A = this chain, B = another copy of it.
Amino acid sequence: MLISQTAEYALRAIVSLAERHGQSVVTQDLARRTRIPAGYLSKILQTLRRAGLVHSQRGLRGGFVLQRAPDKISVLEVIDAIEPIRRMTRCPLDLPEHASGLCPLHRRLDEAIGQVRNTFASFSIADLLDESRRGVSRGLCDTVAAPAR
């Protein structure tokens, strides 16, 4: 897998919140919609909250809401909040002769990492919703239909 299970769960949760942007969604409801174990989801939401991607509202209508509009959140930001896809900025063997330039293997690995980061930075959560609405691909990874708009 290119990204971890946890990062994939975080993306599902953000997409599901984006489908209901402006509404507050409680963890149990979000867990049911995204089929993520509630305890696990709760930890992911805390991490996303610390990263400034969601915030929680207290009270009767409390729950989680996206902190920003879906077009202002890239897929990369969600992944990086959970488990950053780090560039290989230095030789993992700490070889002094590679201090100022990586060897061909690590340079190629770093280029691939850069390519993936660019891909994930190039589309927003809103792009995923738009594709779904335009019928480019089917629905969203959400097990409960979104309310009619």
User: What chain B residues lie within 8 Å of A108 (beta carbons)?
Assistant: 75, 123, 128
Other than the given A2-B116, A98-B138, A103-B138, 18 more pairs (CB < 8 A) read A1-B85, A1-B113, A2-B109, A11-B109, A12-B93, A35-B93, A95-B141, A102-B138, A103-B137, A103-B140, A103-B141, A104-B131, A104-B140, A105-B140, A106-B141, A108-B123, A111-B119, A112-B116
Task: Tell whether, in the assembled complex, residue B109 and residue A3 are in contact, meaning their CB atoms are under 8 Å apart.
Answer: yes
Query: Chain A at the B interface: mostly helix, strand, loop or mixed?
Result: helix
- In the complex, what residue of chain B is closest to A131 when comparing beta carbons? B104
The CA of A111 and the CA of B3, in the complex, are separated in Å by 13
* Number of identical monomers bound together in the oligomeric complex: 2
